[in-house]
Amino acid sequence: MSAKHHVEMFLSEEKVDKRIKEMGEQISRDYAGKNVHLICVLKGGSFFMCELAKRITIPVTLDFMSVSSYGGGTESSGVIRIVKDLDEPLEGKDVIIVEDIIDSGRTLKHLMKLLESRKPASLRLCTLLDKPDRRVVDVNVDYTGFAIPDEFVVGYGLDYDQMYRNLPYIGIVKFD
Ligand code: IMP
Ligand code: MG
């Protein structure tokens, strides 16, 4: 059971879509003449990856993986497990990990190390949201949609107890 709460609008659908369009254009410029291989971290990254991929104008391939670092609550446990691995090898590819949010950075630190060992030509990190104040371990973020304050957010793929992923905007969970 989740605690009594409500969701307040934080970043509107228009704002988020506009920013994703800019990020897609930036990636298309940075990787001009190449193909880019996007890796979606499920489930949260899926909404962002679909929108981002549509805004990239160079050839794109996609793959999905699922790692777990959270229980039902709002705090990272620091325990990371691969729930679903990638279907394709990464060797020689220009890879971008697409995440919904970077919080403590623990998940990404672990994931970057793992994917680096599969010998991609390059490996970058793209996140829709970043909470820099919450960082516990160092991670280098190449593309950030929005840097946000330390609040628990939902929508655009992000959940609270598996709810609200389908909101077309980013909201803040307020506990009553
Ligand atoms: P980290 O390992 O602490 O950086 O946790 C990253 C993961 O925690 C994200 O991919 C999300 O799944 C989840 N997470 C962190 N902050 C939030 C939030 O504000 N709302 C929803 N999920 C979050
Ligand atoms: Mg996630």
How confident is the model at residue 166, as a pLDDT? 97
What percentage of residues in the chain have a pLDDT greater than 70?
93
Task: Provide DSSP, 73-100.
Answer: SSS--S--EEEE--SS--TT-EEEEEEE
- Pocket probe for ligand 1: among 2, 48, 70, the residue whose CB has the most ligand atoms within 8 Å is 70
Both ends of the chain: CA-CA distance in Å?
15
Please name each of the domains of the chain with its CATH number. Answer: 14-148 (3.40.50.2020)
- pLDDT > 60? residue 70: no
**Dihedral (Cα; 123, 127, 131, 135), 10-degree rounding:** -20
Q: What is the pLDDT of residue 74?
A: 53
Q: How confident is the model at residue 106 (pLDDT cuts 50, 70, 90)?
A: confident
CB 130 near ligand 1, within 6 Å: no
Residues marked active site are found at 103
CA distance 7 to 146: 19
Which ligand 1 atom minimizes the distance to the CA of 99?
A: 10
Q: What is the pLDDT of residues 111-164, one digit of tens each?
A: 999 999 999 999 999 999 999 999 999 999 999 999 999 999 999 999 999 999
Whether the pLDDT of residue 1 is over 90: the answer is no
Contact yes or no for 138/144 (Cβ under 8 A): no
pLDDT band for 54, please (50, 70, 90 cuts): very high
Residue 76 has pLDDT above 70, yes or no: no
Q: Grade residue 107 by pLDDT with cuts at 50, 70 and 90.
A: confident
Q: Is the CB of 153 under 6 A from ligand 1?
A: yes
CA of 22 to the centre of ligand 1 (A): 23
Which pTM value belongs to this model?
A: 0.93
3-class DSSP state of 48: helix
70 or 157: whose pLDDT is higher? 157
Residue 117 corresponds to which amino acid?
S
